[in-house]
Structure 1
Amino acid sequence: MRKELRIKKNQDFQAVFQKGRSFANRQFVVYSLEKEGQDAFRIGLSVSKKLGNAVTRNRIKRYIRQSIFELKDQLKQGYDYVIIARKPAAEMDMSEVKKSLSHVLKVGKVLEKDK
């Protein structure tokens, strides 16, 4: 995923938390906020230190980024998304992360069926 498609600044994260809407399942919480004048979507990731050491956290983030990359054609454009990993995500493999993430995005109605 290109770096300009990532949310890095704290004020951007806070805007999504305060103004956006959230949806969740057991493994992930996703906040979404529609941004006017933005043609692509941006992703912010939050993985707590409670989930494990740096290796575990980085693996979770890598799996999430890859899942979003594979789902990017179905994801609604013009939104900012913040994805928060919960404790069960630490024990998941790549296919389980993608399946769980696509489920939570469908619950939030930001994932179109199939293109």
Structure 2
Amino acid sequence: MLPLAHRLRDGSDFRAASRGGRRAGSRTLVVHLLVVDDDSGLRVGFVVSKAVGNAVARNRVKRRLRHLAREHLRSLPGSAVLVVRALPAAAQASSADLEADLVRCLGRVSA
């Protein structure tokens, strides 16, 4: 589970990161990163639509992504908004595939 201080819950922050941040995509994920100037810290949000599957599949994907993102928080800028959007292929992907895609996308947006 992500600490409360790192959770993104405001819709306007999701929109700002999606529209104004850097974007990188893979077969299973699309990652948006918006570096901000304030000292709010790093916040992470997840978007898993009904296209991914039923509620069980969506929740499983969200849990796996939260766990993987928590492990990679240190590699990101100190004050940023990260949005991870799951694509339908994420429901059938293994955790190793999700992690590889996440690391690859994070490397591209933070470079």
Please give the TM-score of this superposition, normalised by the length of structure 2: 0.89
Sequence identity (%): 30
Q: Once the 2 structures are TM-superposed, how far is the Cα of residue 87 of structure 1 from its aligned partner? A: 1.3
Check conservation: 2:76, 2:110, Cα contact below 8 A.
Answer: no
Amino acid paired to 2:105: V
Question: CA deviation digits over 1:50-99, x for unaligned, max 9?
Answer: 11111111111111111111112222221101110111111012222111
Partner Cα distance (1:5, 1:46) in 2: 15
Structure 1 residue runs of 5 or longer lacking an equivalent are 111-115
1:13 aligns with 2:14: yes
Please give the TM-score of this superposition, normalised by the length of structure 1: 0.86
SS at match of 1:37: coil
1:95 aligns with 2:96: yes
Q: Once the 2 structures are TM-superposed, how far is the Cα of residue 39 of structure 1 from its aligned partner? A: 5.4
Q: 2:74: which partner in 1?
A: 73
Partner Cα distance (1:8, 1:46) in 2: 11
Structure 2 residue runs of 5 or longer lacking an equivalent are none
Q: How do 1:55-74 residues align onto structure 2 when only pairs under 5 Å count?
A: 55-74=56-75
How many equivalent pairs are there?
110
Check conservation: 1:38, 1:79, Cα contact below 8 A.
Answer: no
RMSD between aligned residues: 1.4
Partner Cα distance (1:77, 1:67) in 2: 18
SS at match of 2:74: coil
Task: Looking at secondary structure, tell me which structure has more helix per residue.
Answer: 2
